[in-house]
Structure 1
């Protein structure tokens, strides 16, 4: 039986992703705070920023869930095949 290797992410990659996200959101918030526009315009842009962030998080979760479902389905199918192969003996004579 082959063992599936799980992809790993390093702590540095995780830290870089978190730092990048924090920096980009912070930069947008500072830009919105100092934007020379009426408050309703800044509020509208802030709402758009929040919508983009939540949509990105939901998309990441959906992609991860779909990948996990595919992995689980393939593991179940592999287990069924392994069971059938272990139970099948082509040299067994039925009496």
Structure 2
């Protein structure tokens, strides 16, 4: 039976840092841009709510996509294990 390395897809520390840095930078730059717009406060508030909603829905979409991918991998592993068990028990020369 094949052994799986559970951590083979684990992100490196450099990748995690880059992802967090780009997230913080993008949200900060957008916030500064909205605050410096020459418009009324209610327009700034509306745009800020839009940014927060977009960030929240993007995180939810990423989590959902990851969960679907992981569930398919788990199902595939279970099916593969069942197939390997059947093949191991099968003896073509058995009468």
Q: 1:89 corresponds to which residue?
A: 91
Q: Which runs of 5+ in 2 are unaligned?
A: none
Alignment RMSD (CA, Å): 1.4
2:12 to 10, 18, 29: 10
- The normalised TM-score by structure 1 is 0.88
2 CA distance for matches of 1:19 and 1:81?
44
2:51 to 49, 52, 57: 49
Paired residues, number:
93
Q: Which runs of 5+ in 1 are unaligned?
A: none
For residues 13-24 of structure 1, what are the structure 2 equivalents within 5 Å? 13-24=15-26
Q: Tell me which protein shows more helix as a share of its residues.
A: 2
| Larger relative contact order, structure 1 or 2 (CA cutoff 8 Å, min sep 6) | 2
Q: 2:73 corresponds to which residue?
A: 71
2 CA distance for matches of 1:90 and 1:74?
26
Q: Deviations over 1:6-64 (max 9, x none)?
A: 32321111101100000110111112222211011001100110111011101111110
- The normalised TM-score by structure 2 is 0.88
